[in-house]
């Protein structure tokens, strides 16, 4: 069964601090992995997308890593801002059969405090 597990479930940090979110997946065959930021009540917004051959992808203060061998990904947020408070969802896309649909993690709820 295709699964995506994220940790921690929730995280509280102070403004300006860094943090790292984790994502482990069992989706196979694998096509790509995306990190999304979702504000409460809004649709997810893509931060990064990584394919099998990519190890690191940056988007401003967001840096995602991917280890396709261990099926793990991380999202590192640098110099956090209050506006970073949101749910961060790891989404894995397969290439065939039942994996064709996206498999979502449950998300990490990040709260940035002043």
Partner 1 sequence: ETGVTQSPTHLIKTRGQQVTLRCSSQSGHNTVSWYQQALGQGPQFIFQYYREEENGRGNFPPRFSGLQFPNYSSELNVNALELDDSALYLCASRLGGHYGYTFGSGTRLTVV
Residues 17-36 that bind partner 1 (CB under 8 A): 31-32, 34, 36
Output the smallest distance, CB 48 to partner 1, in A: 10
CA distances from 18 to 26, 61, 112 (A): 27, 10, 10
- Cβ burial, residue 24 (10 Å; 0-12/13-18/19+): middle
- 3-state DSSP of 79-100: CCCHHHCEEEEEEEEECCHHHH
Among 57, 84, 107, 110, binds partner 1 (CB under 8 A): 107
CB of 16 to partner 1, least distance (A): 27
Q: What does the DSSP 8-state code read for residue 9?
A: S
Please report, as residue ranges, which positions from 45 to 104 form the binding site for partner 1 (by CB under 8 A).
45-46, 49, 89, 93, 95, 100-102, 104
Interatomic CA distance for residues 54 and 46, integer angstroms: 17
CB of 34 to partner 1, least distance (A): 6
> Where along the sequence are the contacts to partner 1 (CB under 8 A)?
31-32, 34, 36, 41-46, 49, 89, 93, 95, 100-102, 104-107
């Amino acid at each position: 069964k295709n699964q995506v597990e994220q940790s921690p479930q929730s995280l509280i940090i102070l403004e300006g601090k860094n943090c790292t979110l984790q994502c482990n997946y069992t989706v196979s065959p694998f096509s790509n992995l995306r990190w999304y930021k979702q504000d409460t009540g809004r649709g997810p917004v893509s931060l990064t997308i990584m394919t099998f051959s990519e190890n690191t992808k940056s988007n401003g203060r967001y840096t995602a890593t991917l280890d396709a061998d261990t099926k793990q990904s991380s999202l590192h947020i640098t110099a956090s801002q209050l506006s970073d408070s949101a749910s961060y969802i790891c989404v894995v896309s397969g290439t065939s059969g039942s994996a064709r649909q996206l498999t979502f993690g449950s998300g990490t709820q990040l709260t940035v405090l002043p």
